[in-house]
Amino acid sequence: MCGIVGYIGREQAAPILLAGLKKLEYRGYDSAGIAVLREGRFVRVRREGSVRDLHAAPKGHIGIGHTRWATHGAPTARNAHPHIYGRFAIVHNGIIENFAALKAECLARGERFSSETDSEVIAHLLAYYDEGDLLRALQKTCARLTGAYAIAALTSNREEIALARKASPLIVARTEHGTFCASDLYAIGEAADFAALRDGEFALLRADEAIFYDARGVRIAKQTARYCPETGDPMMGKFRHFMRKEISEIPAAIAKTAQKFDEMVQNKRFCEVLCQTEYIDIIACGTAYHSGLAAKYVIEQCAGVRCNVTVASEYRYAPPVAGKGTLAVAVSQSGETADTIAAARLARARGVPLLSVTNVAESTLCGCSDFVFKTEAGREIGVAATKSFCAQLIAHDLFALLLAQCKGRPAKPLGDLAGMAEKTLAASEAVARWAPYFLDARAAFFLGRGIDSVVAREGSLKLKEISYLPSEGYPAGELKHGTLALIERGTPVVVILTSRRLAAKTMDAVHEVAARGGRVFLVTPFSDLGEEACARLLIPEAEELFSPVLSVIPLQLLAYHVALAKGADPDRPRNLAKSVTVE
């Protein structure tokens, strides 16, 4: 949701904080701010909107910064972080569920609030528990909080930063120039030794050290790893937007993720679990949920194992029956999706082994899993998932093939999906010509049968989230069960058809749409279909179960071009953030 960064060291803090916040804007870009401590007082700069609007650079060697995705309170400068009360300044990522009761206590003491946020109450509690020890005040404050948080706090009378973490990511890094904290390693602009705080842990940062504490306040040692930004920092290069660049990287993501199969096969403990697996529960949200729906088709058809796919926020409150032989699979690009983590922990608490599929090895989800399949999509900056979705699809395909092998069933070859993706990318440039047909539409629809219906859902989601055009994705057979009433002259309908065996039935939906004046846009490998279509895009023919990794590419590009035509920023869709770290 929000992104936080902190620095204490020999360098000027403000430029470091601003550089870090620019790299964290994928987590939220409603407002931004920094606070720097100089000669016993805070100098704070806050703005509504982007980090690039923060022009001032106060002097000082210690500070904290924040880029916001609004939950409580409008996205205004008044509600932007850092929040200051008395001798304390804080930034917060997460949500304080009991803030109303805590705020009422503060108001009863005669304290005044300057924002509408839930976060400001943290600064008030720090002041209330102040006995001259910043870390102790933060520990007492966190004992009163219900919800999720990553907190960085300053006090005006000491040069140190206190940290706390519960259900929101927080990294500590040491470099030759000082000590950092951030929501994501990407915010650290130089080589560093880093460690991730776990739930309930605290840390105290000074210019030359980072000290860690467990939930009881006992000092602990943390194992560190090395981070080298020169190997992991993406640049936009020749592309206008990260989303377009990341779509171009899909073939590489497919190829690199496909190389993980041998690693899976060599994990004997994992294979033993698969041999005993009779049911699979997939848990995910949004685009990851759609990848899970595709996985259900592949797993059941390839391995003959029953598979249930549940939206993570629903799994926690209405979990399916988990009998003996159940394996839970949690899917999250960032590994920090709050609903997915909560559901995954519930599955493990019920004694179900957990496999996580994620793109971030040091994530919270990995830390609570029995097994991890790390996809190799590389860093994805665009809020709308593109290459990470395709990497998840390949991960699921490989998992299904290994499961089939463990069950003694013949495996289907993946084929050269990376090569076919390259050809699909080249062909999909043509969808830019489809965009004008979507500009004046009141709504758009995506249809498909079988596994194509999953691609229809994902294509619809992409269009909605970055172009703001109302859209729905349906199984093609459901069209006449209500949705057909919404088709009028000129309504754009995208049809995905990759299965020859389902072609005749899918084309029935095309005929129904065309008969009512709708405009059909067909994505298919079959050149003999689609006379009634307004436009047709031919893609390479792959094994039906593995086709989504190809057929989704033109839909991602369609959403991108429609967004551009409507004047929207495809990298920063309104009201959304890349990593949803609150429930």
Residue 102 has pLDDT above 90, yes or no: yes
Q: Angle at which helices 286-303 and 387-406 pack, to 10 degrees?
A: 30
- Say which of 166, 260, 464, 578 is annotated catalytic: 578
Count of CB atoms situated within 10 Å of the CB of 501: 9
Q: Are 412 and 545 in contact (CB under 8 A)?
A: yes
Q: Phi/psi class of residue 132: alpha, beta or left (left: φ > 0; alpha: ψ in -120 to 50)?
A: left
In a domain, 38, yes or no: yes
Higher pLDDT, 576 or 463: 463
How far from 520 is each of 290, 431, 570, CA to CA, in Å? Answer: 23, 13, 24
In a domain, 459, yes or no: yes
Q: What is the DSSP letter of 180?
A: E
Which residue stretches of 13-67 are H helix?
Answer: 13-23
| pLDDT score, position 580 | 60
Residue 467 has pLDDT above 70, yes or no: yes
365: closest CA among 328, 391, 401?
A: 328
In a domain, 349, yes or no: yes
For the chain, how many residues are written? 583
| pLDDT score, position 480 | 78
Tell me, what amino acid is at 64? I
Locate 463 and state its tokens.
């269009």
Q: Which helix (H) or strand (E) holds 447?
A: strand 444-448
- Say which of 2, 142, 307, 366 is annotated catalytic: 2
Q: What is the pLDDT of residues 147-203, one digit of tens each?
A: 989 999 999 999 999 999 998 889 999 998 899 999 988 888 788 889 999 999 999
3: closest CA among 204, 188, 231?
A: 188
Higher pLDDT, 534 or 523: 523
Going by pLDDT thresholds of 50, 70 and 90, the confidence category of residue 529 is confident
**Does the active-site annotation cover 307?**
no
In a domain, 467, yes or no: yes
In a domain, 182, yes or no: yes
- My answer on whether 386 and 433 are in the same domain is no
Q: Are 94 and 583 in contact (CB under 8 A)?
A: no
- My answer on whether 567 and 436 are in the same domain is yes
Q: What CATH number is associated with residue 216?
A: 3.60.20.10
- Cα 328 from Cα 290, distance rounded (Å): 16
- My answer on whether 464 and 522 are in the same domain is yes
| pLDDT score, position 465 | 95
Chain centre to alpha carbon of residue 519: 33
Strands 147-155, 88-96: parallel, antiparallel or unpaired by DSSP?
Answer: antiparallel
545: closest CA among 330, 258, 296, 377?
A: 296
- My answer on whether 410 and 422 are in the same domain is no
Of 211-220, 242-251, 461-470, 477-486, give the lowest mean pLDDT range. 477-486
- My answer on whether 8 and 90 are in the same domain is yes
Q: In what order do the strands lie in the sheet with 62-68?
A: 41-48, 31-38, 62-68, 3-9, 178-182, 171-175, 192-196, 225-227
Percent of the chain with pLDDT over 90: 66
Q: Are 117 and 74 in contact (CB under 8 A)?
A: no
In a domain, 151, yes or no: yes
Mean pLDDT score of the chain? 91
The stretch 394-401 carries a mean pLDDT of 96
Q: What is the pTM of this model?
A: 0.83
The stretch 506-522 carries a mean pLDDT of 87
- My answer on whether 211 and 140 are in the same domain is yes
4: closest CA among 51, 39, 48?
A: 51
Q: Which helix (H) or strand (E) holds 263?
A: helix 261-265
Specify the number of domains making up the chain.
3
Q: Are 555 and 438 in contact (CB under 8 A)?
A: no
- My answer on whether 106 and 30 are in the same domain is yes
Q: Are 398 and 357 in contact (CB under 8 A)?
A: no
- My answer on whether 48 and 184 are in the same domain is yes
In a domain, 581, yes or no: no
Which domain-ending residue is among 202, 231, 260?
Answer: 231
Which domain-ending residue is among 414, 429, 462?
Answer: 414
- Cα 312 from Cα 281, distance rounded (Å): 11
| pLDDT score, position 572 | 85
Residue 552 has pLDDT above 90, yes or no: yes
Q: In what order do the strands lie in the sheet with 535-538?
A: 471-475, 444-448, 492-496, 519-524, 535-538
Nearest-5° angle of CA 460, CA 523, CA 469?
25
- My answer on whether 513 and 376 are in the same domain is no
The stretch 60-82 carries a mean pLDDT of 87
- Cα 272 from Cα 251, distance rounded (Å): 32
- My answer on whether 471 and 343 are in the same domain is no
Going by pLDDT thresholds of 50, 70 and 90, the confidence category of residue 583 is low
Which domain-ending residue is among 199, 231, 263?
Answer: 231
The stretch 310-324 carries a mean pLDDT of 83
| pLDDT score, position 354 | 96
- Cα 333 from Cα 354, distance rounded (Å): 16
Going by pLDDT thresholds of 50, 70 and 90, the confidence category of residue 232 is very low
In a domain, 583, yes or no: no
- My answer on whether 7 and 57 are in the same domain is yes
Count of CB atoms situated within 10 Å of the CB of 484: 16
Q: What is the dihedral of CA 193, 199, 202, 208, to 10 degrees?
A: 0
Q: Are 65 and 34 in contact (CB under 8 A)?
A: yes
Enumerate helices (H) and strands (E) in the chain, giving the number of each.
18, 25
The Cα diameter of the chain in Å comes to 78
- My answer on whether 285 and 177 are in the same domain is no
How far from 354 is each of 304, 338, 362, 397, CA to CA, in Å? Answer: 20, 16, 16, 18
**Does the active-site annotation cover 390?**
no
Q: What CATH number is associated with residue 288?
A: 3.40.50.10490
| pLDDT score, position 230 | 52
- Cα 310 from Cα 346, distance rounded (Å): 13
The residue range of the domain holding 409 is 239-414
Which residue stretches of 318-451 are H helix?
Answer: 338-349, 364-367, 387-406, 417-428, 436-439
- Provide long-range contacts, Cβ within 8 A and 24+ apart, for 479-484: 479/447, 479/509, 479/512, 479/513, 480/512, 483/445, 484/512, 484/516
The stretch 424-428 carries a mean pLDDT of 97
Q: Are 359 and 374 in contact (CB under 8 A)?
A: yes
